[in-house]
Structure formats: structure tokens, C-alpha cells
Amino acid sequence: MIDIDKWQEIFGSLGRHKLRTLLTAFSVWWGIFMLVILLGSGNGLENSARRDFQNDALNTLWIWTQQTSEPYKGLPAGRFINFTNDDYERIEQHPEIAYASLRNNLWGEFFVSYRDKSLSYRVEAVQPGHQAVELPQMREGRFINATDIDEFRKVCVIGQPVRDGFFNEAQTALGEYLNIKGVKYQIVGVFYEEREREMQRIYIPSSTLQRIQGSDQVQTIILEMGDTPIAETKLLEERIRQQMAAQHKFSPSDRSAIGFFNRSEEFQDIQTVMTLIRTFIWFVGIGSIIAGVIGVSNIMLITVKERTKEIGVRKALGATPNSIVVMIVQESVFLTSVAGYLGLASGLAVIYGLNQFMISNDIDAEFFYNPSVNLGTVLVALFILILSGVVAGLIPALQAVKINPVTAMKG
């Protein structure tokens, strides 16, 4: 049953010093509020980083050519290295590779047109394996396939914004033709990706573009490594460097001739940074809470000192040490919990409101996405609240237990 008298004492004690109670409660409120805000913001940063990676296959290796920086066997430094289809075929033979694709960008200032409408989009020539790398979600039709490559078909796969730019909802994009630099390509698929900028592009078969340009040059080779560990991927990098050095006659030690980008290695680095950020957030948040708890504990010590005579009378009338401890701790837990719950609710309201504001205004921040606080974090915060209240009241309560009834009543 609820002890009404005890609660009346608690409210009476807190009400006698309203300003002091309010300032103490504010310190606890602020600590929990800042912890929730920091955690929500940290999750916003982490969600943005994860979204960047989830749009593409994680374990990928990107390879492109650059300039040599060392002379080699009579050849000068500063030579441009160019990949060809033969290089692509050699590289994709490595057993660690699950999927492979080459990519050539269609450079220059030009517009893609449909009938009397012209718009500017990025055009990339790729292989069927590119679907396993970029992970586009097909909304209509299909992606580039092997037959398109073998038969040099003039077909294209367009992003959802490209479709929306040329066609209304009632129109069917599949089967229509886009004019790209004077060549008509039939639309065979429409894809969707999470980020808007990733959809502002058109894919065409790599073999078709190479035939039109009269060249077998390859700008970028992309490898999807499946379940290959990062350490083995790093070894594969070196083997490919050695292989291409022998093929294109540059020094195997020349790190500038070929560029590599290991996506899984970058993701691992991002995870390390996120762990450090989370640790820092908890350190600052817990520090703020501890500051509030110290404030509550000091106030409870003052309260015990003010109520010395009252506590002495209680002990003289037979009050047990346990009942004295419970009385002080209960008041501390009540003050800490109420202030903490309000801080928790305020922090969640701010994070939720910010997220809804971003959604309703279609704000797609580059480094901040879907700020939120998960249920596990809320439960941890609630546990911290209750524990903080107990700790804040325990020291003053033990001080109250030591009060001598005779001395207290004489005072």
C-alpha cells in the first residue's frame, strides 16, 4: 500500500525550498536531456555513414589507372597507364572475385533527349556485374545483361528521377528511346537507389560504347569480393599491381601507377570512428548526469542537516536505521526520477521533432540522417536514473543514521 504520510513528508520537504529543488532538478534534467540529444545526433551521423555504404556492395575493390612516378627499364616517369578489355579479363580471373564490372563514363557537355525534351544526366557504360556492386533496385524491366554486351545492343537502364524527368506517371518508359550524343538507346529498365544523386544516371552496355568510340579502353574496374576477408583483399591488391606492372611495364614498387580503393577497409575505419564518437558521447553524457547527481546528493546532505532534530526525535521514538535510510533515499530517487524522466522525454521530443522536420521538408543532409534513440538506450537511461537517485540519497541517508538522538534534540 502507498504510505500517504511518507509522501506528504517528501512533498513538504521539497516544497519548503522551491528554488533549491527546482535548480537541483534542472541539473538532473539537463544531464539526461544532453545525453539523449548527443546519442540521437550520434545515431544521425552513424545512420548517414551506414546509408552511404548500404547503397553499394560492402566488400568491393575499385581499380583505376594513373601516371607512373618512377622511371622503369629506360621508360620515363609520368607515363599514363591505360587499361583495356584484356586487362579486365585478366583481373576478373582471380578466384577471390565473386563479381566484376568495368565502367566507362561518357564525358563532355551534352544533353540526353526524348522527343522535344532535353535534360542533363550522367551516363555510365557498365557490365552486368555492376548490378552486384551498386545494388540498384529494379522498379521496372531489367538491368544490362550478357546478351546486351555480346550483341552490342543500344539499350539503357535509367534511374527513377530520369524516368520522372522525361515521362509522366501514365506513360510507360520501357521500350521508348533516349537520344544520347546522337545515338538512340532503348529503355529496358528503371532502377531506384536510396540517394537521389545515385539515381541521376543512365547505364548503357560497355561494349556498345566501346564500339561507338572505336576503343577498348577501360577507365575503372570494379570487383565484388563476396566473403573474402579484408586481409586477403589486400594481398589481391598487391598481386594485381604486380600483374599489371608486368603487363604495362612500370615498376612494381610504383604506388602511383594504379589506384586502389577498398570499400570494406573504409567501412572498417568508419566503424572505428563511430565507436570513438559513441564512447565520447557516453562519457560526456554520463559526466553531465554525475554532475546532476552530485548536486542532488549535496542538497540531500543539507536537507539532513536541516532535519537533524526531526531525525533525532524519530530515532528516539523507535525509528529503525533502515526506515531513516529509506526515507532519505526515497526522496532522492523521487526528485532524480521525475527530473530525469522529464529530461528523457524532452530529449526524445527534440530528436523526434527534428527527424519529422527533416522528413516533412524533404531535407537530405549529407552527413546527418534519421536521428533517433533506440529502445535499448532508453532503458539504459532509465536504469541510470534510478541508480543515480539511489546513489545520490545513500550518502546523506548514512549520515542521517549516525545522528545521535540526545545530541540532536539538545541542538
Q: What gap in Å lies between CA 308 and CA 39, rounded to an integer? A: 42
Query: Residue 362: which residues within 8 A CB-CB, separation 6 or more?
Result: none
Angle between helices 321-360 and 4-15 (to 10 degrees): 70
Question: pLDDT for 251-306, tens place per residue?
Answer: 988 989 999 988 777 777 777 877 888 888 778 777 777 777 777 677 666 666 66
Q: Average of pLDDT values for 113-119?
A: 91
Query: What is the phi/psi pair of residue 143, to 5°?
Result: -95, 175
- Cα dist. 233→91, 240, 253, 407, 409 in Å? 13, 10, 18, 78, 79
What's the pLDDT score for residue 301?
Answer: 66
Question: pLDDT for 16-37, tens place per residue?
Answer: 667 777 877 787 788 788 888 8
Alpha-helical (H) ranges within 218-320 are: 230-248, 263-306, 308-316
Q: What gap in Å lies between CA 292 and CA 279, rounded to an integer? A: 20
Q: How confident is the model at residue 196 (pLDDT cuts 50, 70, 90)?
A: confident
What's the pLDDT score for residue 262?
Answer: 85
Is the separation of the CB atoms in 112 and 119 below 8 Å?
yes
Residue 109 or residue 337, greater confidence:
337
Mean pLDDT (the chain) is 81
Is the separation of the CB atoms in 233 and 262 below 8 Å?
yes
Find residue 253's DSSP bridge partners: none
Q: Average of pLDDT values for 87-113?
A: 88
What's the pLDDT score for residue 305?
Answer: 66
Reference 61, options 308, 230, 297; nearest CA is 230
Q: Is the pLDDT of residue 49 over 60?
A: yes
Is the separation of the CB atoms in 359 and 374 below 8 Å?
no
Residue holding cell 525550498? 17
Q: Is the pLDDT of residue 59 over 90?
A: no
Q: Average of pLDDT values for 349-372?
A: 77
What's the pLDDT score for residue 246?
Answer: 92
Q: Average of pLDDT values for 86-105?
A: 91
Question: pLDDT for 306-339, tens place per residue?
Answer: 666 666 666 666 666 666 666 777 777 777 778 8
Q: Is the pLDDT of residue 128 over 90?
A: yes
> What is the per-residue burial (b if ≥16 Cβ within 10 Å, else e) of 160-172?
bbbbebbbeeeee
Q: Work out the widest C-alpha separation in the chain, in whole angstroms.
A: 107
Residue 277 or residue 368, greater confidence:
277
Q: Is the pLDDT of residue 410 over 60?
A: no
